[in-house]
């Protein structure tokens, strides 16, 4: 029962890399249609799952983070664990697809 947390360049280190729980990060942008399409799915995951933290990074505001992880396509949904990007899914897909790609099913 949680909301999707807004993550910025300033808070990425603390909220994602130093998090005790795994963090699902949705890299998105306002001009990306598929990102808008999957936004409700990400919110649903945030609401339903207690085992992870769910956040989003606007790549328009934080291009540095996207670059650091070699992101060249959005929506890019990454799972961070112990400060590392361990798994990811690219492109709009149903919830089951995202959870499967991230090893969360």
Would you tell me which residues interact with another protein (CB under 8 A)?
A: 29, 31-38, 40-41, 59-60, 66, 70-76, 90-95
Catalytic status, residue 35:
yes
Tell me how far, at minimum, the Cβ of 65 lies from another protein, in Å. Answer: 13
Give whichever of 7 and 92 is closer to another protein, judged by the CB atom. 92
Dihedral, 7, 10, 16, 19 alpha carbons, nearest 10 = -120
Catalytic status, residue 32:
yes
Residues in the chain: 105
Distance between CA atoms of residues 9 and 62, nearest Å: 6
Catalytic residue numbers, as ranges = 32, 35
């Amino acid at each position: 029962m949680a909301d999707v947390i807004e993550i910025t360049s300033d808070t990425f280190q603390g909220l994602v890399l130093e998090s005790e729980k795994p963090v699902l990060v949705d890299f998105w942008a306002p001009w990306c249609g598929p990102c808008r399409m999957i936004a409700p799915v990400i919110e649903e995951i945030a609401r339903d799952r207690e085992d992870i933290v769910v956040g989003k990074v606007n790549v328009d505001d934080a291009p540095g983070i996207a670059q650091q992880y070699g992101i060249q396509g959005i929506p890019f949904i990454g799972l961070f664990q112990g400060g590392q990007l361990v798994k990811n899914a690219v492109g709009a897909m149903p919830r089951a697809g995202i959870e499967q790609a991230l090893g969360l099913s």
